[in-house]
Amino acid sequence: MDPEEAYRVMDLKALRCFWAVGKRGTLTGASIELGISEPAVSKRVRALEGYLGTKLYESRGGKVRLTPAGHKVWEMSVELFDRLGEFERGMAQEGIMGSLTIAAEVPVQLYLLPPVVDKYRRLFPNVTLRLIARPVSQTVELVRQNEVDIGIVASGEFPEGLVFHPWRAFEAYLILPRGHPVAARAKQDFKSLLNPQTIIRYPMIVGEAEEAEHHRLREGLANLGLPLKVAFEVSDFEAVKRYVSLGLGVAVVSGICLTEDDQTRLEIVKIPPDYGGQTTYGVLIRERKYVDAALKGVLTLLEVSIG
């Protein structure tokens, strides 16, 4: 055997041409797909047939019909170029370095961000990711001062120069201990609970006063002309649910924090939308913020398009 013959390898450009022919079904379509002339496509496919020693397609009336051998080669080419594409994308992402800082309240970090962080770490392993827990007011200021890249917050009024991009919306729920005396009535006629006597009789466990959910609850009741009777304040949603399950009070929480396990230890009643309990969380970012590759990656996962 000629020594040079032993080192002959399949020409990937020729294989790519044949892949395009099989995909488009015509030589003309393949030339458009690849951005080269039709004679160039035909020449490279003939070279591939010469290398393999077999006919790969027949052309009738401008249409291409793959031979049995052609079908095998085309299927192999699809798999090969799919894998090459994945490899190239992976190499490009591995080359992305830098840092990314996200500010958000603890509930957002506990319930919303874990799947996003999981995907982001797999896609961008060389980016240093920082998640810092801050109340909404502090998150807004950090974004405004450009001390963090983005904030994940509930919708609201924000200073000029900041843009809010909605991401996920959650309904509000009344949670009570299992077997609570008003649970059945709440499910049948929620409006019957909205009176001062019931609210004062069953005080609420709430988050800390500076938290956004606390403010929304107080404002929502005030709009209905009702007081907020507080049993006590706790640090976060998990603590709220725990104390409610122990029979120490009732609470209103966002659906962001409810899990399947909660169904077994709590009475959960959806608050009718007429009472405005829905909370929309989204991405808060500075106008004209420079979006590098690391930031663009997380914005894509958060379904935010900028520019």
Indicate whether 78 and 226 sit together in one domain.
no
Indicate whether 138 and 235 sit together in one domain.
no
Q: In this predicted model, what pLDDT tens digit does every residue of 66-79 receive, in sequence order? A: 999 999 999 999 98
Residue 10 resides in a domain: yes
Residue 93 Cα distances to 75, 88, 97, 292, angstroms: 27, 9, 9, 13
User: Could you tell me which of 271, 265, 236, 280 has the C-alpha nearest to residue 252?
Assistant: 271
User: Could you tell me which of 147, 145, 163, 143 has the C-alpha nearest to residue 155?
Assistant: 163
Indicate whether 199 and 272 sit together in one domain.
yes
Where a domain ends, among 94, 113, 129? Answer: 94
**Domain that includes residue 116, residue range:** 98-169+280-301
Residue 78 resides in a domain: yes
Q: Is 209 exposed, middle or buried (0-12, 13-18, 19+ CB in 10 A)?
A: exposed
Q: In this predicted model, what pLDDT tens digit does every residue of 244-268 receive, in sequence order? A: 999 999 998 888 888 888 988 899 9
User: Could you tell me which of 154, 288, 166, 172 has the C-alpha nearest to residue 221?
Assistant: 172
Question: For each successive 10 residues of the chain (307 residues), what is the average pLDDT?
Answer: 54 89 88 82 91 90 88 91 75 76 92 92 91 93 95 92 92 90 86 86 79 69 80 86 92 87 89 79 93 90 80
Indicate whether 179 and 259 sit together in one domain.
yes
Instruction: Write down the pTM of the prediction.
Output: 0.62
Residue 307 resides in a domain: no
Evaluate whether 256 touches 281 at the Cβ level (below 8 Å). Answer: yes
Q: In this predicted model, what pLDDT tens digit does every residue of 214-249 receive, in sequence order? A: 667 777 778 778 877 888 988 788 889 999 999 999
Q: How far apart are CA 21 and CA 42, in angstroms?
A: 9
**In the prediction, which pLDDT does 98 show?**
87
Residue 33 resides in a domain: yes
Q: How far apart are CA 224 and CA 205, in angstroms?
A: 19
Question: How many domains does the chain divide into?
Answer: 3
